[in-house]
Structure 1
Amino acid sequence: MTDPLADVVALLQPSMRFTKIVGAAGRWGVRRAEGGHPSYCAVLEGSCRLMAEGHAELVLEPGDFVLIPASERFTMSGMEAPAEREFDRLPVQLPSGEFRHGVQDAAPDVRFIIGHCVFGSPDAALLVSLLPRLVHVRGVPRLATLVELLRDESREQRPARDVILARLLEVLLIEALRSTVGTAASPGLLRGLSDPRLAGALRQLHGAPTRHWTVAQLAREAALSRSTFFERFNRAVGMAPMEYLLAWRMALAKDMLRRGADSIAEVAERVGYSSASTFSVAFARHIGVAPGRYMRDGYSEAGAAN
């Protein structure tokens, strides 16, 4: 059966751009005030506080994993409220390679792995919009095992240590997204998949993107009336069913065009259009550039918008 979450993750092409092991003691604080790359944090030992814009404060504990897929502001600090000046102090890098916040000559109150990830997809903005704005996972044995492996690897200086850490973090990221299905996530694909009725329709849509779907057909797949399905889908996923279908088809088309393995006519057929000309008009309207130019110049989402 088609797995919509796997489809989105595969197109996102996540990888870890920057990772560091951090220890902190006493009063300390870190602030990201401007946009940046998607961020993640895996707590190895101790506790700390996370305040992300638009979310209630979280107290992070050992084994917790947090992913902020979009570029949003957040602060992290110790359990003691730091003075404002603490947020301006840069961490010190120790001989071991670990970074230290707060008191330098005391055992750390908390240790965590934090960093940035990148999404290689040219359609990352759309795909990220389908994910929750913040993913916080706790009490999931599989994730706890991965965090334990991270902890062990971070303590040793084995050969290829950085490669192993990067791969473990990639798996942890995907497991975190998967573990969020069924929770009260913000509107997006994961929340849609947590609704059994909508999940069936989403799987059908992803499994047959070339089919000439209507709202009525998708409502039948969900065993709901047309109006109930439309309202429920819009509320859970954050966009109307046909808008989602168009966005998904365009994401698939952009990936195919970027790879250059198919002609425009073949891409059109594979994403549900009856002709290359019809597809080209839809693609240009949605993306802002003709598919031939996109394929030739390798436009990114930002580039097309400009």
Structure 2
Amino acid sequence: MTDPLAQIVSLLQPDLSYAKFVEAAGRWRVRRVEDGRAFFFAALEGTVLLDVRDEAPLLIEPGDFVLIPAAYDFTSSSTHSALPTGLNSMPVEIKPNVFRLGDQTCDPDVRMLVGHCAFASPDAALLVSLLPLLIHARGEPRLTTLIQLAVEESRGERAGRNVVLARLMEVLFIEALRSCGPHCPSGILRGLGDERVAAAMRAIHEQPAAAWDVPGLAKTAAMSRSAFFERFRRSVGKAPIEYLLQWRMVLAKRLLEDGKLSVAEIARQVGYSSASTFSVAFSRHVGASPTIFARRRSYGDLTVRGSLLQHEPVSAFG
């Protein structure tokens, strides 16, 4: 059986290797104005206040894992009740990959792993749009174990430390997505947490070329057409056929990137009766014809609408 979450994570191609170990003491605050890159935060010791634009302030406790799939404006700070107005702490690198915030003389009372997650997918913007604005996982035994492993690894100086941390963070990413699904307001995780909606989503992922329509998907979900449409739209945040179209375009981009099939063959694999019909749909969705998209990708032009690869190293808070 096809696993939609595994497919999406696989297509996103997350790279969590840009992680930094941060410790802090006393009063401190760091504000980041980002450009839509994903930001992750694993709390190892102590509590931190995370304030993300358009979200309620969040108290992060030891063992918590937070992922902001597309970060633009957020602030991390100590939990002291009275922080000086305008305080903006500058991280100090005390040794390779380890940064210090706040009081540089006291023993740290906060330790965390933070960093950026780069997505190598040419359609990362669309895939990220299927995820919640903020993912906060807490009280998950598997996550707690992974974070404890990350603590031990981050404190050691063993060979391959950065590689091990990167792999641990990848697993944390997937576990966090699994754990927060039922609590998400909408998106693919919420949809997969609904047995009826998930049945339709799995059908789309298993047979993207099938001639799906709302009645057919409703039958798969064992629901009436109107009830299914509303439940799917409310859970996933998109109408069923809109989700189907977007998933087909994701697959089409991947096949065009591979360069192994003709446009006509790709059209058939993603559910279009002819190359011309597929080309019209693809051009409307992507802003470039399949041929032009494939040519741009082969020459390394990453400016096609909805696609921007970001592989920059990060400082203490990304």
The answer to whether 1:184 aligns with 2:183 is yes
Aligned to 1:83: 84
For the structure 1 residues 233 and 302, does the alpha-carbon distance in structure 2 shift closer, same or farther, using more than 3 Å as the test?
farther
Partner AA of 1:212 in structure 2? A
Per the alignment, residue 261 of structure 2 pairs with 262
**Residue by residue, what CA displacement relative to the aligned partner does 1:219-264 show, whole Å, maximum 9, x if unpaired?**
1111111111111111111111111100000000001101212111
- Percent identity, aligned pairs only, is 54
| Cα distance change of structure 1 residues 33 and 96 upon mapping to structure 2, 3 Å threshold | closer
Q: Which residue does the alignment assign to 1:58?
A: 58
- Asked if 1:145 corresponds to 2:158, the answer is no
Q: Which residue in 2 is equivalent to 1:159?
A: 159
More divergent stretch after superposition (7-16 vs 95-104): 95-104
Q: Runs of 4 or more off by more than 4 Å in structure 1? A: 299-302
Match of 1:47 in 2: 47
**C-alpha distance in 2, partners of 1:84/1:17?**
34
* Change beyond 3 A, Cα 1:50–1:304: closer
- Alpha-carbon distance between aligned partners in 2 of 1:135 and 1:302, rounded to the nearest angstrom: 28
Give unmatched runs, 5+ long, in structure 1. Answer: none
Q: What is the alpha-carbon distance in structure 2 between the residues aligned to residue 229 and residue 289 of structure 1?
A: 33
Match of 1:296 in 2: 295
Question: Once the two structures are superposed, what CA deviation does each residue of 1:38-81 show, in whole Å capped at 9, x if it has no partner?
Answer: 00000111111111112222111111100000123111111104
Paired residues of 1:123 and 1:301 also in contact (CA < 8 A):
no
Q: Distance in 2 between matches of 1:295 and 1:39?
A: 30
Cα distance in structure 2, aligned partners of 1:62 and 1:168: 17
Cα separation, 1, equivalents of 2:30 and 2:119: 24
Aligned position for 2:312:
none
Rounded to whole Å, the distance in 1 between the matches of 2:167 and 2:61 is 23
Q: Which moved more, 1:10-19 or 1:102-111?
A: 10-19
TM-score w.r.t. the length of structure 2 is 0.92
- 1:200 and 1:95 map into 2 onto residues whose CA distance is 50
For residues 54 and 99 of structure 2, what CA distance do their matches in structure 1 show?
Answer: 28
1:18 alignment partner in structure 2:
18
> CA distance change for structure 1 residues 130 and 300 in 2, over 3 Å: closer, same or farther?
farther
Cα pair distance change 1:195/1:147, threshold 3 Å: same
Is the 1:65–1:176 contact (alpha carbons within 8 Å) kept by the matching residues of 2?
A: yes
CA distance, structure 1, for counterparts of residue 220 and residue 75 of structure 2: 43
One-letter identity of the residue aligned with 2:47: S
Which of structures 1 and 2 has the larger relative contact order (alpha carbons within 8 angstroms, sep 6+)?
Answer: 2
Per the alignment, residue 315 of structure 2 pairs with none
SS at match of 2:191: helix
1:188–1:238: 8 Å Cα contact kept in structure 2? yes
Counterparts of 2:25 and 2:117 in 1: how far apart (Å)? 26
Q: Offset of 1:86 from its aligned partner?
A: 2.3
SS of the residue corresponding to residue 41 of structure 2 reads strand
Give the distance between the partners of 2:96 and 2:105, measured in 1 at CA: 14
Partner amino acid for 2:147?
Answer: V
Q: Could you tell me the TM-score, scaled by structure 1's length?
A: 0.95
